[in-house]
Structure 1
Amino acid sequence: MTLRKTLLAASIVAALPMMASNAAQAAAQLMSAPVAQASPQESAGLVAKLAALDNQRGLSADHSFRIASQHPGVVGEKITRANHTYKGLRVFGSESVVVTNDAGDIVSESVSDRRAKLDAPAASGGGRTAAVAPADWTPTLSTTDAIAQVVKAVAPSGTHRWEPKAELLIYPVMKSVRIASALNKSESALNAMDLEEVVDHYELAYYVQTRMADKGKLVYFDTMVNAKTGAVIAQWKALQTVVGTGNSQYNGAVPIQTSQSGSTYKMLDSTRGTGGTYGGMAITNANHSSANNPNAGSIYTNTTNTWGDGQQYINGGSTTNANGQTAAVNALWGLMNTYDALKNVLGWQSLDGNNTATYIAAHVDTQYDNAFFEPGCKCMYIGDGSSFYSLGSIDVIGHEMSHGVTDATSNLTYSGESGGLNESNSDIGGEMVEAYARNGGTGNVIPASGNDWMMGKEISKSGQPLRWMYKPSKDGGSPDAWSSTIKNLDVHYSSGPNNRMFYFLSQGSNSSSTSDYYSKYLVKSPAAMTGIGNDKAFRIWFKANTTKFTSSTNYADARTKVLAAATELYGAGSKEAIAVQRAYAAINVGADIDEATAPGGVSITTQPANVSVTAGATASFTVGATGGTAPYSYKWYRNGAAISGATSATYSLTAQTADNGAVFNAVVSDSSSPVKTATSGNATLTVGSTGGTTERVTNGGFESGTTGWSGTTGVIGNYSGQTAYEGSNFAWLGGNGTTASETITQAVTIPSTVTSATLTFALHIDTAETDPTAYDKLVVTVKNSAGSVLSTLATYSNVNAASGYQVRTFNLSAYKGQTVTLSFAMTEDSSLQTSFVVDKVSLITQ
């Protein structure tokens, strides 16, 4: 039986109509100032626009969106993260990242879609059983029961540091499947792009977040609990770990911004950030408060504006004398440089982009070998170390503060591949802050050098860093490249390949197989790929994480979205975009490509022109291009959605009244590697009714979902396994491989005054039947208002199967002066599917 009606729901970047900006200008753009949170009316308006896009994708009215967060985009734009909901419940890991302009228009939408099977129709047999039955939406467990069950399992004698939370939601249980071209590959030969994550099934679940302290340690867990049975579906650790004068431990005498109140100086930097707990960036003295339940304490104060002695803290000594102040100097200098690097280079203010102040608490516990970011207070705690020196080195501070950026933006789930990317983002942030700080902490670029590409080397008493970004496997636990088992590793290890990718993107690789900077996966020319430097690499990565990544982004999805970010900043086929592809190829994510620059880019020479026609007439749009490497390929778009089969320089369609106002454009691609592309301008189709020509069918192309149609409307949508004749949607009757009947109908009125009435529709038939007997049938009829058949226009069966669509035409002039019902009725026997795919239904009267 063929795969049946699975919504196209892979994690994609949905490209909406957008004019490409000059690459150099784009690269220099800064993130805008803090944005005002949307009003309820503005949020409702955005949800309505997103729902309209969902309708075009064929999703039912049970689907909607819930605004999760907002933060700045580039100047003139805002980023909104919207969770997908079904019947009012959030679908975990399914979300849209939406870029809007000042007018509220959607500029782009980056999607991770896990709703694929939620609209599966309920019926018996074959693949038609509903993914989740309606009764499954009612929990058996209460919220209190779910929390109590998790607490009993993870820390029965613990205390809550933060109030526990439990959210009832739909949890998609995912599985990895191979794409068709990788079915016969050995496990060791798999590339990340050979697999795709699909929904295996759904469970009604409580998402329980517990933040507890127990037996001298913090016990932070996120747990998915089946809301019917209480079974634990999934669980993962949630603790995210690594102008006065100050004498810092790692950086000598450094300038630090403090405040003065009378004769007292405070480690409160009111020039960076607003609001928050202390009204500015602050360093507090935890004064050995237990890591079991740390208390931030009060802001550091001093009688002079000279702080610290630059030495490792003496265990048991004062936390407020010069020696005790050194850890606070480390923290403030790190916090200042993190803030300045993000703001001066990228325009991003504080951790959340909205300039909310944060703080760091020093001297947590006694000889505590850790540093961690605390989402509850959006702050950081650092220990004095035992096996390590004080945990306040510049890269560790940058690392932990970068968890705050992720927490405010992509919120990458802290487990599996997304958890590895979460940790990698913090390692990348730590290294880039280190480079910025080591070169004076000023300027609007990340310097080309200054960082050591080793996370936490300064805090190590043995001289061995926590992680080697250029060769992760040197730590004995991190892999150098992606494999299908990487999702099973601790996130501090699964971060390794992406760290290496970023090193290669910035610094390039080495062609010698004995080098720490060599990758066996780089098989194109030159063998040693060329890096693009810290500044460009960080801009690309930061743009992807803040404007494109979703919480469920994995390695394959990251490659797609980092490449999209590079293309937006520097252009398709640019050296920066090529470097992204090669850097990911170096860690076994995607194929390697040659660096050699292809002949000049592609440019549009003939723009498609606006067209005005009457309903029933043919409308044509043409595009011309030059440059690049011939031959060209073409892809036409209607209102931003790709038109299936529209792959020629000219696109033609039979215009209907519903087509009035539709906007068309084309993307032209050449034959070089990497491919060069050019996007045409937009052309608008105007459809008039001159001469009395009128379209009588509503939504004949199904682009507005089920509008106008009755019957088995679940067959209408955009499903994998079939393509539309035009636009995105179609009606797929049959294809079940089991006994079934499906019908779609629409009532139409044919005035008595018309001179002609012509029905047309596009029909594609494919089948698994081999016997030349009509087992499965589609009957097209005209009925009266009582449901009686006035005429059988045609009967099609598996015997009529053929490649592509055929356009069928019928004269309905006999029904002038009547309101009749057009009916497409399918019956399928108990085995071997036949699909009847209907599109572009039109009844033109004149």
Structure 2
Amino acid sequence: MKTSIKFYAALAPLALCGDALAVTRMPLRAPASAMMSAPVRAPEEAQVKIALDGARLKYGLDNDHGYRLTARHPGGPGAWVTRYAHTYKGLRILGSESVIVSDAGGKVVGETLQDLRSGLGQGAGSSLLAGSFIQFDVTPRVAAADAVRTAQGVAPLRVVAEAAPASAELLIYPVQQRMRAASVLGKRSGGLNAADVVKQLTGYELAYLVKTREMGVDRPLFRDTLVSARDGHVIAQWNAVQTVAGVGYSQYNGQVRLSTAYTNGSYWMQDPLRGTGGKFGVNTVVDAAHTGTAGDVYMRTFNSWGDGQDYQLGWPTLGENGQTAAVNAMWGMMNTYDTLKNVLGWSSLDGNNTATYIAVHAWDGYDNAYYSDACHCMFIGDGGARFYNLGAIDIIGHEMGHGVTAATAALDYHFESGGLNESASDINGEMTEAYANAGAGGATIPARGNDWLIGQQVSRSGAPLRWMIKPSKDGASPNAWSWQLQNLDVHYSSGPNNRMFYFLSQGSSADPASDAFSPYLNKWPRAMTGIGNDKAYRIWFRALTTKFTSTTDYMDARNKLYASAIELYGPGPESAAVLRAYAAVNVGKDLDEPNAGQAFGIVWQPQPVTAPAGTTAWFAVAPGGGTPPYAYQWRRNGVSVPGATGSVFGVVAQPGDNGALYSVLLSDARGQSVASDPAQLTVTAGGPAELVFNGGFEAGWEGWRGNTAVVGSWQGAGEAPYEGKAFAYMGGNGRAATETLGQPISIPAGAASASLSFALHVDTAEIAPATAYDTLAVEVKNAAGTVLATLATYSNLDARPGYQVRSFDLSAFRGQDIVLSFTMNEDYALQTGFCIDKVSVAIR
């Protein structure tokens, strides 16, 4: 007979003391109906694999190179992310990988690469390593069992038990050397920016990656060790326990509502509303009973848990006082799940809604909390000399953040990627804290609610573990990137990225005495403008889950956050804030903010126009500051023109308009108003006339249509205009993309001639010498979008330093209304950028 199960979302008062009995130990179990998990939707892997295999020639790779599927997870609405490790002769190349974004039908729409493979075999990069690895031997001379014994022999503490069997993976380890860029060879190490450092591939080693997951006398001993498969020496070893920082926490939320399960007359500390499958069927809290293993699920006969007090060592872990740790954990797990789901659409740790669990009362007096990759679960200690119980909500969010990172980017837990791994968890903890403190509802992260202090609530001294606003306040974490950053413990090398995220969200201060001051910000304004918790979190999460690879470092993170900001919000304040926030921690160069901090006014004044009689003269204005939306009223000689209420105004020039002054009254949503400068119209009887409005893009995208987000000043993108400050930057994505930009024009039938000219600069990262992978078509279309003529097609093969001016005769289109169109198509990898400026169609 099936068991009847009822679920309750019940009020669990933490301050009640009505149950004097310890909870009876019961076997591990999960609600019967929760044991089945829904199938995970996946992209068409075959299409993705075909695209990857077809890229071998593009990257100059031979048939010994391949791909191995390592992970698949959602990548946003209607998109999926599939992660492939690069292989050579069947062995994984450590840290070399492709992150593929595909749509619901499996079509590849983007690829992020960490490419460390080209020096192997007959690839195009083999010459860079003097051909030393063309015949790389993948036959080990050391047995896997011997590599495991070597790794275990480096253990610093006595091992009493195994948490999981040791594993040894034979792989290829790319050896890299950090070097100064050629332009900064004379710079002192202390003055280097992250952008000044490059990594050079120097060779490969056949090695075992040995993962040991052992239990010491009073703590877990999780280590990753690289052991040479040639002679057995240890190449590198790092700590793999993903902790909050080797310390602990306490309970802080008063009376809270918990989602629990009811079956067979008992309540279980299991959440039927969150997660499916996994070890217990749903998200669950269990008792570790002062060990490093999961014990029994918390259960009792009525739905009221804990006494709201810090756990007293020596008291029963299943009693009223011991239950408080479970309440802390369940409350934190519920809120972290809801933050990810409601704000980002991300279900549980892996995005596929696989249930997880938290084991409380880990070890005895354990001043720590950690995520275990062996069980995809968390262990929370009760604290000791320095900390209370480690169940504070930002700590639970931190540890669950490790699970998200493990399921996506899998950032290596050493060097700069290890610092980013820890920072990703700190960010997740702080955003969970903000979401929970605001009532844990809605689809956005509140602007306030978190304290930017990691673990402050749990500290017996009141000092937090980390200060995100100024990491150096802990006495060990740096405020900014430096050459030595990768040599620090990951809990300290996370500091600069934590500070970056604070600046991205909250902005900085221009006061040198402020904790929020950065000496690296030297552009306008000195106090950078933040974009708020919600936007900052979305940009970070998109980069982490769809672009980061296991070896992403600070400079790579900066570039991928910038790309994510562009994808989410287009060029503007958000993408500029990313570049400024990283510049504030010495990663990349600073830049002026676009219109930040300006009072309401006019950024672009109407300009004088000279037009032949019978042609259209165009005037435009661009507002800045104030509160959108804006309202416009154009005037002729001070008199309002009926219906002229847009940012762009066109008038057919007549002889009587010669000398007329056109201006606009601009107002914002708060009722502020400002009048523009007058612009004079000069009407001529004939001669050359310009038909393209805003051909230099100095008025932004005014007059243009299509992907207008490609228009801007593009500061920080490594490109420059032909003249002025603005231009159109099409391509440069490094992923599959199509962008269009066009403007309708009318060529008078009576024109003697019509000619098109524009300045074009092409740069590319493509390496194949004779294949046009990325293209820009210059076309003439009609109003319905039909191509009337293709004037030219440019590609990555046309890459040249600087701009070239291109010219075409349009006389064949006299008497027609046409659309001048630029269409860019970029394939799924290796960017090509097409910079366009000074577009002109002149008639005579």
Output the TM-score relative to the length of structure 2.
Answer: 0.67
- Cα distance, 1:594–1:168 mapped onto 2, change above 3 Å: same
Amino acid at match of 1:148: R
Supply the distance in 1 between the matched residues of 2:222 and 2:393 (Cα, whole angstroms): 25
Match of 2:451 in 1: 452
CA apart distance, 1:626: 4.0
Amino acid at match of 2:439: G
Matches within 5 A, 1:239-278: 239-242=241-244, 249-278=251-280
Q: Is the 8 A contact 1:123 1:129 kept in 2?
A: no
Supply the distance in 1 between the matched residues of 2:460 and 2:740 (Cα, whole angstroms): 62
Given candidates 58, 61, 73, the residue that maps to 1:71 is 73
Q: Is the 8 A contact 1:34 1:349 kept in 2?
A: no
Deviations along 1:48-94, one digit per CA (max 9) or x if unpaired, are 21121232222222221111110011222110001011122111000
State the Cα RMSD in Å: 3.2
Supply the distance in 2 between the matched residues of 1:329 and 1:123 (Cα, whole angstroms): 56
Q: Select between 350-359 and 198-207 the one with higher mean Cα deviation.
A: 198-207
Match of 1:629 in 2: 698
Amino acid at match of 1:372: Y
Match of 1:526 in 2: 525
Match of 1:540 in 2: 539
Give yes or no for the alignment of 1:461 onto 2:460: yes
Q: Is the 8 A contact 1:35 1:72 kept in 2?
A: no
Q: Is the 8 A contact 2:38 2:276 kept in 1?
A: no
CA apart distance, 1:171: 0.2
Supply the distance in 1 between the matched residues of 2:514 and 2:420 (Cα, whole angstroms): 25
Supply the distance in 1 between the matched residues of 2:725 and 2:390 (Cα, whole angstroms): 46
Supply the distance in 1 between the matched residues of 2:565 and 2:693 (Cα, whole angstroms): 26
Q: Is the 8 A contact 1:559 1:584 kept in 2?
A: yes
Q: Is the 8 A contact 1:241 1:372 kept in 2?
A: yes
Match of 1:497 in 2: 496
Partner SS for 1:225:
strand
Match of 2:338 in 1: 340
Give yes or no for the alignment of 1:589 onto 2:591: no
- Cα distance, 1:472–1:347 mapped onto 2, change above 3 Å: same
Match of 2:52 in 1: 50
Supply the distance in 2 between the matched residues of 1:115 and 1:276 (Cα, whole angstroms): 35
Given candidates 175, 178, 181, the residue that maps to 1:179 is 181
Match of 1:314 in 2: 312
Deviations along 1:454-512, one digit per CA (max 9) or x if unpaired, are 00001100000000001000000000000011000000000000000000000000001
Deviations along 1:200-234, one digit per CA (max 9) or x if unpaired, are 11101111111112333211111111101111111
The number of residue pairs the alignment matches comes to 600
Match of 1:61 in 2: 63
Q: Is the 8 A contact 1:423 1:491 kept in 2?
A: yes
Match of 2:131 in 1: 130
- Cα distance, 1:510–1:230 mapped onto 2, change above 3 Å: same
Partner SS for 1:462:
coil
- Cα distance, 1:556–1:135 mapped onto 2, change above 3 Å: closer
Matches within 5 A, 1:109-508: 109-119=111-121, 129-132=130-133, 134=135, 136-154=137-155, 157-242=159-244, 249-289=251-291, 294-387=292-385, 388-508=387-507
Amino acid at match of 1:217: R
Q: Is the 8 A contact 1:252 1:310 kept in 2?
A: yes
Give yes or no for the alignment of 1:568 onto 2:567: yes
Partner SS for 1:258:
strand
Supply the distance in 2 between the matched residues of 1:297 and 1:675 (Cα, whole angstroms): 63
Supply the distance in 2 between the matched residues of 1:71 and 1:668 (Cα, whole angstroms): 37
CA apart distance, 1:118: 1.5
Supply the distance in 1 between the matched residues of 2:54 and 2:125 (Cα, whole angstroms): 28
Supply the distance in 1 between the matched residues of 2:325 and 2:341 (Cα, whole angstroms): 24
Partner SS for 1:68:
strand
CA apart distance, 1:35: 7.4
Supply the distance in 2 between the matched residues of 1:510 and 1:371 (Cα, whole angstroms): 34
Amino acid at match of 1:421: L
Q: Is the 8 A contact 1:220 1:237 kept in 2?
A: yes
Give yes or no for the alignment of 1:677 onto 2:729: yes
- Cα distance, 1:176–1:675 mapped onto 2, change above 3 Å: farther
- Cα distance, 1:591–1:338 mapped onto 2, change above 3 Å: same
CA apart distance, 1:34: 8.2
Q: Which runs of 5+ in 1 are unaligned?
A: 1-32, 243-247, 602-622, 633-666, 684-717, 730-762, 765-802, 805-846
Supply the distance in 2 between the matched residues of 1:536 and 1:479 (Cα, whole angstroms): 25
Match of 1:688 in 2: none
Q: Select between 158-167 and 472-481 the one with higher mean Cα deviation.
A: 158-167
- Cα distance, 1:162–1:93 mapped onto 2, change above 3 Å: same
Supply the distance in 2 between the matched residues of 1:674 and 1:123 (Cα, whole angstroms): 37
CA apart distance, 1:445: 0.4
Q: Is the 8 A contact 2:80 2:102 kept in 1?
A: yes
Amino acid at match of 2:566: T
Supply the distance in 2 between the matched residues of 1:549 and 1:127 (Cα, whole angstroms): 26
Q: Is the 8 A contact 1:176 1:198 kept in 2?
A: yes
Supply the distance in 2 between the matched residues of 1:121 and 1:66 (Cα, whole angstroms): 19
Match of 1:104 in 2: 106
Supply the distance in 1 between the matched residues of 2:560 and 2:447 (Cα, whole angstroms): 24
Match of 2:513 in 1: 514
Supply the distance in 2 between the matched residues of 1:727 and 1:456 (Cα, whole angstroms): 54
- Cα distance, 1:131–1:682 mapped onto 2, change above 3 Å: farther
CA apart distance, 1:128: 6.7
Supply the distance in 1 between the matched residues of 2:435 and 2:765 (Cα, whole angstroms): 49
Q: Kindly, what percent of the aligned residue pairs are identical?
A: 51
Partner SS for 1:55:
coil
- Cα distance, 1:579–1:727 mapped onto 2, change above 3 Å: same
- Cα distance, 1:321–1:216 mapped onto 2, change above 3 Å: closer
Q: Is the 8 A contact 1:277 1:357 kept in 2?
A: yes
Q: Is the 8 A contact 2:259 2:270 kept in 1?
A: yes
Deviations along 1:175-195, one digit per CA (max 9) or x if unpaired, are 112223222222222110111
- Cα distance, 1:674–1:122 mapped onto 2, change above 3 Å: closer
Q: Which runs of 5+ in 2 are unaligned?
A: 1-36, 245-249, 596-602, 605-621, 624-691, 702-718, 732-737, 742-763, 775-796, 804-844
Give yes or no for the alignment of 1:727 onto 2:796: no
CA apart distance, 1:378: 0.7
Q: Is the 8 A contact 1:37 1:70 kept in 2?
A: no
Output the TM-score relative to the length of structure 1.
Answer: 0.67
Supply the distance in 2 between the matched residues of 1:195 and 1:336 (Cα, whole angstroms): 42
Amino acid at match of 1:142: A
Q: Is the 8 A contact 2:409 2:549 kept in 1?
A: yes
Q: Is the 8 A contact 2:170 2:206 kept in 1?
A: yes
CA apart distance, 1:288: 1.6
- Cα distance, 1:329–1:577 mapped onto 2, change above 3 Å: same
Partner SS for 2:154:
helix
- Cα distance, 1:157–1:404 mapped onto 2, change above 3 Å: closer
CA apart distance, 1:366: 1.8
Supply the distance in 1 between the matched residues of 2:415 and 2:86 (Cα, whole angstroms): 21
CA apart distance, 1:678: 4.8
Supply the distance in 1 between the matched residues of 2:496 and 2:38 (Cα, whole angstroms): 33
Q: Is the 8 A contact 2:576 2:594 kept in 1?
A: no
Amino acid at match of 1:150: A
- Cα distance, 1:272–1:627 mapped onto 2, change above 3 Å: farther
Amino acid at match of 1:213: M
Amino acid at match of 2:132: A
